[in-house]
């Protein structure tokens, strides 16, 4: 038995097909100069300010007059709608409160094969003006199929508040990366998907760390640790750490930079070099830093674990000179992403932050929680003088670039000579790579 056409599955829900029009190449007619007319006019000019618009209205509100005064591409016809107004236009928007006039506009537009939008009358619309989310070149159109403009507006506000302010910088960087990718379409698509997947993964990781925080941390645990450790010396803190945490759950990182020798020597001495030292090899280190790392590794029998970024991502940062265009993204790819992957296996992360280094670090405590992980700064309250005295008394070898005017040492492209950390990301509103904020 053959199935009749009544047995066919008819699609349900919102059947609208979203498209993005180049309105600057079209002529738009708006009929109505009141509140609704102002809303439609504002939406078009905000998104496509060069659009040729004809505005027909018997009466113009003061707000409409003020708006059109700034746009030479808006022609105003202050009189009732006439059938000839449709001539030469590609789209028409009826924004009147007169149902009969709206029906006339729709009927005559259909005869002339002109698409029409009739405000607040979905059954007369050929198209809707959705709520538009705009961040630089990124645009997201939201439609409720004419059911609830208010919900569409609230969704727009949600996305506008959620999307980062540097979305345009991200788009520009991805465009530059895309232009440099070699291979056919499928290869390019695969590589871009891998690159952008890190942004999705970051959101997923946030959820995971929030869950891990609930599991691993009692609300008062950090406060208790700080009360216990703050009166102790750096050496006492390090020894106590291994009583409160399993050794295999302790992550210790070092940049082998300007004053890293202080904390490295403490750990090497107190743990007899049993504690592994993770080093982030961004591939942009000074040759002096790498030589210094080799020297200290041999001198103190350190167990150094090199942490490296994804090879192809690192290659893109080099070819695109990402540090010039988006230093935060460059740090993210070459530092924070690799360490995020490593840190998941540990409970506590040890690093050599000191309050004297910058304003952000002045507010830190010996222990803090960040992204579901305990951070431990055993030398946080040590003064520069105390550190330098320890280095001198123990005859510890210094980083060679200290003798060449570098107070802080990171990657070659983002480090210049200067006192303290003033030589890091000079000229940029940036003081941290992202590992510690």
Could you tell me the two tokens for 289?
Answer: 């830093």
| Distance from the first to the final alpha carbon of the chain | 69
Looking at residue 24, its pLDDT comes to 93
Q: Which CATH class is domain 209-414?
A: alpha beta
Any idea where the domains of the chain sit in the sequence? 23-129, 209-414
Looking at residue 183, its pLDDT comes to 64
Please indicate whether the domains covering 23-129 and 209-414 agree at the CATH topology level: yes
Contacts 24+ apart (CB under 8 A), 75-81: 78/33, 80/56, 81/31, 81/56, 81/105
Low-confidence stretches of the chain (pLDDT < 50) are 1-6, 203-204, 206-215
- Condensed to tens digits (0 to 9), the pLDDT of residues 277-295 reads 999 999 999 999 999 999 9
Q: In CATH terms, is domain 23-129 a member of 3.40.50.720?
A: yes
Looking at residue 10, its pLDDT comes to 53
- The rounded distance, in Å, linking the Cα atoms of 355 and 118 is 63
Looking at residue 124, its pLDDT comes to 93
Q: Is 282 exposed, middle or buried (0-12, 13-18, 19+ CB in 10 A)?
A: buried
- Given phi > 0 = left and psi -120 to 50 = alpha, else beta, which region is 418? left
Question: pTM for the complete prediction?
Answer: 0.56
Looking at residue 152, its pLDDT comes to 83
Sign of torsion over alpha carbons 106, 108, 111, 115: negative
Looking at residue 146, its pLDDT comes to 72
| Partners of residue 294 on adjacent β-strands | none
Catalytic residue positions, numbered = 433
């Amino acid at each position: 038995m053959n199935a009749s056409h009544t047995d066919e599955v008819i699609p349900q829900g919102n059947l609208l097909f979203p498209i993005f029009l180049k309105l600057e190449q079209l002529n738009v007619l708006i009929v109505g100069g009141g509140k609704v007319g102002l809303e439609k006019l504002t939406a078009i000019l905000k998104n496509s300010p060069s659009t040729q618009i004809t505005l027909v209205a018997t009466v113009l509100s003061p707000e409409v007059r003020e708006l059109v005064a700034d746009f030479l591409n808006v022609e105003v016809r202050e009189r009732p709608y006439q059938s000839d107004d449709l001539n030469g236009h590609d789209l028409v928007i009826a924004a009147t409160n007169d149902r009969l006039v709206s029906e006339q506009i729709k009927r005559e537009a259909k005869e002339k094969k002109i698409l029409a939008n009739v405000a607040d009358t979905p059954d007369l619309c050929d198209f809707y003006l959705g709520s538009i989310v705009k961040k630089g070149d990124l645009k997201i159109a939201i439609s409720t199929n004419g059911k609830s403009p208010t919900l569409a507006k609230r969704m727009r506000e949600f996305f506008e508040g959620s999307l980062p302010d540097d979305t345009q910088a991200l788009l520009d960087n991805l465009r530059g990366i895309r232009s440099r990718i070699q291979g056919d379409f499928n290869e390019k698509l695969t590589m871009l998907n891998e690159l952008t997947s890190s942004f999705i993964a970051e959101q997923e990781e946030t959820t995971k760390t929030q869950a891990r925080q609930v599991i691993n941390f009692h609300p008062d645990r950090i406060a208790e640790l700080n009360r216990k450790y703050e009166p102790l010396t750096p050496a006492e803190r390090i020894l106590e750490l291994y009583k409160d945490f399993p050794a295999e759950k302790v992550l210790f990182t070092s940049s082998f930079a300007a004053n890293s020798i202080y904390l490295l020597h403490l750990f090497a001495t107190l743990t007899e070099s049993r504690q592994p030292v993770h080093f982030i090899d961004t591939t942009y280190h000074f040759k002096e830093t790498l030589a210094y790392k080799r020297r200290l590794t041999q001198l103190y029998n350190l167990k150094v674990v090199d942490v490296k970024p994804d090879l192809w991502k690192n290659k893109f940062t080099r070819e695109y000179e990402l540090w010039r265009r988006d230093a935060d993204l460059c740090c993210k790819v070459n530092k924070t992403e690799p360490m995020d992957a490593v840190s998941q296996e540990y409970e506590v992360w040890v690093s050599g932050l000191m309050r004297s280094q910058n304003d952000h670090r002045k507010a830190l405590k010996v222990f803090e929680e960040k992204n579901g992980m305990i951070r431990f700064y055993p030398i946080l309250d040590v003064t520069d003088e105390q550190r330098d005295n320890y280095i001198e008394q123990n005859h510890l070898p210094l980083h060679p670039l200290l003798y060449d005017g570098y107070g802080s040492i990171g990657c070659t492209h983002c480090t210049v000579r200067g006192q303290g950390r003033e030589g890091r990301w000079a000229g940029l509103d940036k003081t941290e790579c992202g590992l510690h904020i």
